[in-house]
Chain A
Amino acid sequence: MTLNYKLLDILRRGRSPHENHLIDGLVRGAVSRREFLRYGSVLGLSAPVLGGVTSALGFGLMPGPARAGTPGGTLRYGQIVPAAAINPVTIADGGGVTMLSQFGETLVLSAPDLSAQPLLAESWSPNADGTVWTFKLRQNVKFHNGQALTADDVVATFDRLSDPANGSNALSVFTGMLSKGNTKKVDDYTVEFHLDAANGNFPYAVSTDNYNAIIVPADFPEDYEATMIGTGPFKLEKYTPKVGASFVRNPDYWGAAALPDRVEVVFYDDYQPQILALQGGEIDVIQQVPVLQVVGLLSDPSVNIISIPSSAHSQVHMRTDMDPFKDKRVRQAVALTLDRPKIVAGLMRGKAQIGNDSPFMPAYPSTDPSVPQRQQDIAQAKQLMEAAGAGAGFQTTLTTEKYLEIPDYSVLIQNAVKEIGIDLQLNIMDQGAYYGDAVPGKSPWLDSSMGITDYGHRGVPNVFLQAPLMSTGTWNSAHFNNPEYDALVTSFVAALDLEAQRATAGKIQTLLLDETPLLQTYFYDFITVTKSGMEGVVSTAMGHLMLGQASL
């Protein structure tokens, strides 16, 4: 590695201490190039700076934008029908997110490689302790109704989303982070967010990861669904609930004009009909195909499979507060029966990352890679069962929901734990029944001694670390209560610096591996399918589908 110290020195000027610390980490080799690019982008280092630093260090340039495709034509894509009205405040389902991404944009883009990229915000930076973040907005952005986007619209958007009275879905992100009234206009194109507590990953909270946070006009209309005014490269032409929608190119778009003239959206209730429709040539893109269903397409030369890593996973919980999983050795034994590489290869067709029973999947930059991966070890599992006084085995029930691959996964677990004498009965319910009233005592999800729950993608592990595992967590189905863990997570969330985050992450990973309240054996990829030869389709693991630069 050839270091160009002079260039580095120039680049360091005007950088905050956090940013310089990150650059130091890269120079020392404690931070890899990829992680540098990604985390630097979170802190608000602009692309030229990032590229400059890495090239000064001899890492080569940032990847350039994809080559321009041919404009024109109508692109048809299939997606799951939105579960509710198209309202950015309340949308909470994948189908709705995909719709939002056709016309709306957030301040920040959480890119497929999990880096934070500028979208409606040009740049951002935190104060010294990470409690105030300042965002600079783009100046040439117009809404679809011709109005210019200013700081007032941004403030109104975030006040609406953080107001508990609106029943906003974004509250799950903002509670304890951003309160109503704490988004402040500095000037027409500068906004400050005053956080409830320090947060090193705040840009993700205003990125596509928090899909509700698309910027809409300050005078948000009552029947938003009728207009769907946003800032995106396409604007609404027609929306027919339950059936589909069409969008046309936005001639006033601030960025590169959309290539397709029109985008037609076709809603489906399920995945199989979409696969058949793609194979029959009726649609060009399927926004998402679960890994389970991709099998039918793997050998088809007429389609192209786009696979991006995501943190979505099926989380197995074991109640730590009651038998038969009260003894952590029993929980460890269960974890040791699973052959993870085989599950990834077979159940997930290789389209997943192997998990190590903590939310820190390998693709997160904050994950400490030095924590050893748990491997299948039946002999040790049997010993642990003996040591816990459960050598004779026992019978218990695995309660779960009928969703994607979970029924199949539960069969694999059932077969695996037979090896150590556990006779697992399966109780597979429909989703509504499994979640029940979502409060302890009225929800199989939170009450079962063992269960499997689906968790969608998050750009950072914070939610996974808090809600299902902290003693105060509302989704804590494992009933895990460990003060040391709680303290570690609090310091992880506040850490502004990647090295500090990673050091805490290592401790959390080790603790979870020892306690094993949850099994996270794989994190499956997010898969979008296009017909072969298509270029420029961008999707996120959150469910966005961006077709502005797509060409047929």
Chain B
Amino acid sequence: MTDTAAAETAAEETARDQTWRDDLRRLARSVTFDIGAVIVLFWVGCAIFGPSLVPLDPFADDLLNSLLPPSSEHWFGTDQLGRDVFSRVIVGARDILTVAPIATLLSTVLGTALGLTMGYFGGMVDEVLSRLVDAVLALPTVIVALLALTALGTSTVTVLFVIAFSFAPIIARTVRSAVLTEVGLDYVAAAELRRENTLYILFVEILPNVLPPILVETTVRLGYAIFTVATLSFIGFGIQPPSPDWGLSISANYGMIGGGFWWTVLFDSLAIASLVVGINLVADGIESTLND
């Protein structure tokens, strides 16, 4: 690499940093983003510090005080084993906020690599990979998960990989179309003329320029990942007992709502709803900021 080329790259990077900083500033001013971020940060805080913050041990049973309605002692009441629902809802953020982000991250890494390859090489490579992507996308994630979990047995790790593998093609598609517009640009041609290593072109030259759409897609996917993990837990194929996971608690208790024990499902439902709405508000904020 010549000195001029290096200087050019450095200038490019500064320019890029500048736009990033602008974007961040505008992002902070977006109301939807702020509301979403507050909700998400709240649950992330619960997931990390929850066990040491909660008033009562979420796992400690108290059989003689089971199914108490909400009171000053048990804000959200108690469940069948007399465990404190408030503490369980707080700590219940933990598993879902571990599995879903890891799965999303994994799918982003996989999808980005796949999308860069498809977009950059085009031709047969693109054609074959596109068909595979189509095949995976022909099935809803929940169905793919049921198939995989039946074949491999129910486990959190399987859930994680299923989500990663079924979201990767979607990210790949987004990345592919972003890459297609970049491939024709001068800087790629210049890098090719300099006979740069292909991996270098893909990950150092092109990747930084397609980051915004990847970021948007990743946040959107995170929302879906949480949705999917919650759904799988509800139907018994996701997070397993004795976790205080929300979907799991709802699934265990919803038969009791007719008996008037609404507090055993309501707060878990609200928790799931607020978390997914929060994440999607964040995604929405990022998307509109980057697209404007």
Contacts and interface: CB of A to CB of B under 8 A. Distances in A.
Direct contact of A and B (CB under 8 A): yes
Closest 10 CB pairs of A and B: A346-B63, A272-B255, A296-B259, A296-B256, A407-B241, A279-B258, A275-B255, A411-B242, A430-B154, A293-B255
The residue in A296, A411, A428 that gathers the most chain B C-beta atoms within 10 A of its C-beta is A296
11 contacts: A275-B258, A295-B67, A295-B80, A345-B63, A345-B64, A408-B80, A412-B63, A415-B59, A415-B60, A428-B242, A430-B154
B254 interface: yes
B81 A426 contact: no
A402 B63 contact: no
Interface in A343-370: 343, 345-347
B259 A411 contact: no
B260 A342 contact: no
A434 to B, nearest CB: 11
B240 to A, nearest CB: 6
A297 B259 contact: yes
B177 to A, nearest CB: 41
B66 A296 contact: no
A367 to B, nearest CB: 26
Given A346-B64, A411-B81, A433-B154, A276 B241 contact: no
A253 interface: no
B153 interface: yes
Nearest to B63: A346
B236 interface: yes
A187 interface: no
Contacts of A411: 59, 61, 81, 242
Contacts of A296: 255-259, 261
Interface of A: 271-273, 275-276, 279, 292-293, 295-300, 342-343, 345-347, 402, 407-408, 410-412, 414-415, 426, 428-430, 432-433
B82 interface: yes
Contacts of A276: 255, 257-258
A359 to B, nearest CB: 25
Interface residues of B, number: 24
Given A293-B256, A342-B63, 8 more contacts: A292-B80, A296-B256, A296-B261, A298-B259, A345-B63, A412-B63, A428-B240, A428-B242
Interface string B65-95: 0110000000000001110000000000000
Nearest to A273: B255
Contacts of A426: 242
Interface of B is mostly: loop
Contacts of A415: 59-61
A411 B249 CA distance: 14
Interface of A is mostly: helix
A536 to B, nearest CB: 25
The residue in B254, B255, B261 that gathers the most chain A C-beta atoms within 10 A of its C-beta is B255
A414 B260 CA distance: 29
A542 to B, nearest CB: 23
Nearest to A415: B61
Nearest to A275: B255
A310 to B, nearest CB: 21
A523 to B, nearest CB: 18
Nearest to B83: A411
Nearest to A297: B259
A428 B241 contact: yes
A455 to B, nearest CB: 20
B256 A295 contact: yes
B56 to A, nearest CB: 13
B194 to A, nearest CB: 55
Contacts of B260: 299
B241 A402 contact: yes
Contacts of B236: 402, 430
A347 B81 contact: yes
Contacts of A273: 255
A412 B81 contact: yes
B82 A346 contact: yes
Nearest to B82: A346
Nearest to B57: A415
A397 to B, nearest CB: 13
Given A342-B63, A347-B81, A407 B242 contact: yes
A316 to B, nearest CB: 16
A293 B256 CA distance: 7
A431 to B, nearest CB: 10
B147 to A, nearest CB: 15
The residue in B60, B240, B258 that gathers the most chain A C-beta atoms within 10 A of its C-beta is B258
Contacts of B63: 342-343, 345-347, 412
B124 to A, nearest CB: 42
A289 to B, nearest CB: 9
A272 B254 contact: yes
